[in-house]
Structure 1
Amino acid sequence: MTDAAFDWLYPERIQLLSRRHWTPLGVAKKAAQFLADVPGKKILDIGSGVGKFCLIGAHFFPEAFFFGVEQRRELYHYSLAAREATQTGNADFINANFTQVDLSEYDSFYFYNAFFENLDGKDRIDQQIEYSTSLYVYYSRYLFKALENKPSGTRLVTFHSLEDEVPPSYQVVDASIDLLLKMWIKR
C-alpha cells in the first residue's frame, strides 16, 4: 500500500491536504509499532484529522485499540467513512476538542503537531475553527499537564513537533534520522 492508494479513500480536496497534514504511511506504521508494544493498549491520536494514523495503526496492530480525537466535524465524518470502507474494527473516532476528552483513559499518545495551525497562517486545513497564538500556548500547556500526570512508562510519539507539549519527564528513546519523528517514554 502507498500513501496515494490510501488517500483514495477520501475526496480530492482531502487528498490534496495529505502530504502536509496527514501522517505518511511509513511514519504511521513505525509510530504505531512503538505505541502498541503490548496487546490491549489504548492509543489516542490528538488531532486525528481524517483518521489515517489510526486506521493504519489498527490494520498493522490488531491487538491494540486506536482512537482519534478531531474537532472538525467534516474530518471526523471522513474518518468514520474510511473506517467503514476499510472494515477496521479496532479504531474509533471522537468529534471533540481534545481538551474535552478524558486523557487518563488512554495508555499512549500520537501527536502530529495538531496545534501548529495556530502559528502558521498560510497552510491551514480550513477556516472552520478559531486560530491564535494564545490557543497554541493553551493547547500545548494543557497537553503538557495531561502528559505530566500520566504514569511512568507512558509512551508518546511526536511528529513535526516543536516539543512545547512534552514534559521533561519524557525521554527520547528512538528518533528518525531527520529528528522529525520521536518516540518518548515517561521515566
Structure 2
Amino acid sequence: MIPLISSVENLFRNLILETNSNTHLPNSASVFLANSSLNLIKDKMKILEIGSGIGHVSLVLSKLFKNCHFTGIEIQKELYELSKRNRIINKCENVKFINDNIANISSYFEHESFDLIISNPPHYTSGRESLKNDRKIARTFGEDDIISFVLNSWKMIKNKKTISYVVHNNTFRSFFYHSIKNNLEPYEIIPALGEKSKNIQLINIKVRKNGGKNLNFKRPYII
C-alpha cells in the first residue's frame, strides 16, 4: 500500500532536526522528492540518496518503509555530522550516511548495488554566487558536477531500475541530456507549480537504466 502524501508531509513536520542553517531544513523540493518516490519503493529495496544534506528525506522515507535500507551520501562534513545525529534522534535504524563526493561512491559499493536512487541536486549553475559558502555548495552546480552525478548514478543503479531527480529549470536540460547520453532513459516527467505563481519551479524526472523510449508527462504537482 502506497502511503498518502499527507502522511509524508506530517512526518516532515514531526521530525526533530538539528541544523546549522535554515537553508538545509526541509522545503518544497524535499517534500516533492519524497512524494514522487512513494510509488517507486518496494519491500526490501536498497535506496541511495545523493546529496542527503541533514538527512530529512531519507529519514522520512525510512519511517514509511521500515523493511528497506537507505544510504545517504553528503559531501559537506558538517551536514553529514548533523545527519548522523538526526538519525539517532529520530530513531531510524534502517538508514546510514556517508561523508564523501558522489565521484567516490565506487569506493563504498559495487556497481549496480541499488534498486532506486533519489536526489534533489543543487538548483543553480556555478555562475550564481552566494554570500555563504555552505549555501553556495548546497545550491550551485557546474556542468562537470552534473556529468559526474549522472555517470556515478549510472554505475550504482541496477539494470532496468529507476533514478528519480527533482531538479530546477536551470539544470533540467543538462540532466536530461546527460542521462540519455549514459543510457538512462527518461520515462516520466512531473512539473511542480508554485501555488500562487502557477509557474513551473521544479521538475521531477525519472530515468531508467537501459529503459525504453516512451516518455510520459504527468499532471503537475502543486508546491
Tell me the TM-score normalised to structure 2 length.
0.66
Q: What residue in structure 1 maps to residue 78 of structure 2? A: 74
Q: What residue in structure 2 maps to residue 181 of structure 1? A: 204
Q: Is the 8 A contact 1:42 1:65 kept in 2?
A: yes
Select 2:22's aligned residue among 3, 10, 15: 15
Larger Rg: 2
Q: Does 1:155 align with 2:132?
A: no
Q: Is the 8 A contact 1:160 1:180 kept in 2?
A: yes
Q: Is the 8 A contact 1:117 1:123 kept in 2?
A: no
Q: 2:14 and 2:167 mapped to 1: Cα distance?
A: 23
Structure 1 residue 117 displacement after superposition: 6.5
Select 1:146's aligned residue among 139, 152, 155: 152
Structure 2 vs 1, CA of residues 98 and 2 (structure 1 numbering), >3 Å: closer, same or farther? same
Higher mean Cα deviation, 99-108 or 62-71?
99-108
Structure 1 residue 83 displacement after superposition: 0.5
Aligned residues: 180
Q: Is the 8 A contact 2:33 2:165 kept in 1?
A: no
Q: Does 1:31 align with 2:41?
A: no
Alignment-mate amino acid for residue 171 of structure 1: P
Q: What residue in structure 2 maps to residue 120 of structure 1? A: 128
Q: Is the 8 A contact 1:71 1:96 kept in 2?
A: yes
CA deviation string 1:69-99 (max 9, x = no partner): 1111110011011100111011110011111
Structure 1 residue 43 displacement after superposition: 1.3
SS of residue in 1 equivalent to 2:130: coil
Q: 2:23 and 2:151 mapped to 1: Cα distance?
A: 34
Q: Which runs of 5+ in 2 are unaligned?
A: 1-9, 194-201, 212-223
Structure 2 vs 1, CA of residues 52 and 171 (structure 1 numbering), >3 Å: closer, same or farther? same
Q: Is the 8 A contact 1:10 1:78 kept in 2?
A: yes
SS of residue in 2 equivalent to 1:165: helix
Q: 2:136 and 2:205 mapped to 1: Cα distance?
A: 30
SS of residue in 2 equivalent to 1:143: helix
Select 2:92's aligned residue among 88, 107, 117: 88
Q: Is the 8 A contact 1:35 1:109 kept in 2?
A: no
Q: 2:45 and 2:58 mapped to 1: Cα distance?
A: 13
**Backbone CA RMSD of aligned residues:** 3.2
Q: Does 1:171 align with 2:183?
A: no
Q: Is the 8 A contact 1:55 1:83 kept in 2?
A: yes
Structure 1 residue 28 displacement after superposition: 4.1
Percent same amino acid among aligned pairs? 17
Point out the structure with the larger strand share. Answer: 2
Q: 1:4 and 1:132 mapped to 2: Cα distance?
A: 27
Tell me the TM-score normalised to structure 1 length.
0.77
